Structures are given as structure tokens and as C-alpha cells.
Structure 1
């Protein structure tokens, strides 16, 4: 898709429904605003981050442009703009640390709303950034809030990249009997 087409498609706007979920998620993440966190207890203090510098926004033209600067990008995020026009209940997330784009995610529910497919999820590849190895966990904050809002009880990774499967498994995903990489959200306490 040409850059001009991406810009024109994006000019159609962002779904207010997705903006609301991202806003709710930002508020939830804000609860930890003054508590530096690490991705795992095994990491040393040099990996502490201040979540007050993290923001969740819809994927807009600025995010798409920033993603084009990534080295070895796995996905053409410009396509998300086109998908947003076709998928009324989509959730699109750009994860920023201050002014640096660190990750992107696009997800949408199936027709029954019982399952949410994570169509694309990518952290800034190759290059170091403040949220390295945390993009999946941060995106799941938003996606799980969205799932709760819709009444969905299963998250599914659509066509996971081979190298990413172990990362998803660390986040609670596993293969079901049909070979889909899923995370069951039933029996969770709100």
C-alpha cells in the first residue's frame, strides 16, 4: 500500500470505542505511576522503568510513521489503517515511552465476541528501547480490559511468528487441542 493511501485511509478517523478502551487502560496502568517496575524479579535494578512515562494511544499516522523507522520491522503497520475501516470493534494500540514508539498491537473480536484475536503485536525490533521485553505484557493490560468489557473469555494469537511463541507462553498462552495459541480468561477475578 502506498504512503498516500495510508494517509488518506487514516484521515477517516479512529473509532471512539477503541479510544475509550485505551483511555481506560492508561488509567489502569497509571495506578503504578510512581512505582518503578521490572519485567521479572530476576532482572537487576538497571531495568527499572517509570510507568508514568508510558502511554497507550490508538495507532495513528504519527505511530505508523515512527514504525517505519524501525530496523527489520516484521509487519507493515500501514495496513492497520485499512483494517480499522472494516472492523467495527477493533482495538489498536501504540505503546509509547515518552516520545519513543516502542510497540504496536491490533486485535479484534470474533462475531460472537467470545474470542479476541491478536492479529499483530510487535515491539520495536533489534534496537534497544525502554520497554524492551515488556510490550506483550503491556499490550495484554489493554487487551484483557477490552475482553472484560466485551465479555470475551479467550485471547488467541493469530498466526504467531515461530520465534515469538515462547514469549507468548511466558504471558500465559498455550496451544489448545486445535493447535491455536490461546489464553483462557475464564475464572479470573476482576
Structure 2
């Protein structure tokens, strides 16, 4: 076994733990009537694997981002964060980013929900950022950042506690502190 394989498995365990914690919380909130009922109907949070990319190609008639290329570019980064959001076999959201080398942050580079009829419209960003925040806590980061969020989504991100964090090399970042 190569040294990198062990690190990859360890970080995939962290990503999976974050996705599972978010799914459990969302299920409890939906049962209490505090989250979309769609979450009771087969919510799954997974890695962006071959099945997710195949579903993206088949189910999404429009997409803002070239997800197959993005995932290919992100795979070498062991500290990456990724999530595919499914309900009843329908892929409704994708998100990918990565952690900084130091203890500062996890930055989400791409977040997208499937356009059109989507039972989680308005919730994909919240689900993705919740799982990413849990991942940040697990790996000891202090902030969650968004890189170049889609302009129309900025008001939602502000409701979720993100504030303008600044610009760097032509990119705009929004951030919030994570709560351990």
C-alpha cells in the first residue's frame, strides 16, 4: 500500500463522517417539520463518484460547471471536500472544494443545484455548507469559505452567515467561522 493511499482513505473517512452527520441532522429536522419533507424520502449524501458523474450527465440538462473535469482536477488533493446530494435516486446538488494546508479554512470552489424541478431548491447550499463545516471541524480548520459564489446565491449565503472576506488574485471570497 502506498503512503498516499492511507492518507486518501483517512480523509475519505473524514468526508464520509461529515456527510453522515449532516444527513442524520437533516433527517431529524425533516421529521420535526423544520426541513423539507423531501429529506425523508431517500436522502443520500455521497462522494462525487462515477455514479454521480454519470447521473449528472444524464439528469442535468443544464449545468453551469464542467463537473467531470472539475472532479478530475480535484482528485489529487487529499484534503478535498466533495458531496453529491441525492433524493430518491435523483442527483440534486454537487459541491467540491479543499482545505488549506494550514489550520485556516476549507474553501468551497463549486456549488451547484440541478435546475428546474428540484425538491431541495433553496436547500442545496445549506446542505453542502453544513457538511463542509462539519468536515472543517473534523480536520481542525477555523473557517469555511466560498470562492466566487454565483451572484444570485449571495443573499442566501449571507442568510447562512457568510460575509465578504475579501478578494485574492481576481477571486472574491465569502467566509464564516466554524463552530466546533
Normalised to the residue count of structure 1, the TM-score between the two structures is 0.76
Is the 1:95–1:102 contact (alpha carbons within 8 Å) kept by the matching residues of 2?
A: yes
The alignment's C-alpha RMSD in Å is: 2.3
Matches of 1:50 and 1:158, distance apart in 2: 27
1:129-168 paired onto structure 2 within 5 Å: 129-168=118-157
Structure 2 residue aligned with 1:21: 15
Structure 1 residue aligned with 2:99: 109
1:1-190 paired onto structure 2 within 5 Å: 15-16=8-9, 17-31=11-25, 33=27, 35=31, 37-39=33-35, 48-51=37-40, 53-68=42-57, 69-125=59-115, 127-176=116-165, 180-185=173-178, 188=179, 190=180
| Structure with higher strand content | 2
Shift of 1:66: 1.4
After TM superposition, which residue ranges in structure 1, 4 or more long, deviate above 6 angstroms?
Answer: none
Could you tell me which runs of 5 or more consecutive residues in structure 1 were left unpaired when the two chains were aligned. Answer: 1-14, 40-46
SS in 1 for 2:117: coil
SS in 1 for 2:83: strand
Could you tell me which runs of 5 or more consecutive residues in structure 2 were left unpaired when the two chains were aligned. Answer: 1-7
Matches of 1:81 and 1:95, distance apart in 2: 15
Matches of 1:63 and 1:139, distance apart in 2: 15
Is the 2:166–2:174 contact (alpha carbons within 8 Å) kept by the matching residues of 1?
A: no
Normalised to the residue count of structure 2, the TM-score between the two structures is 0.80
Is the 1:23–1:56 contact (alpha carbons within 8 Å) kept by the matching residues of 2?
A: no
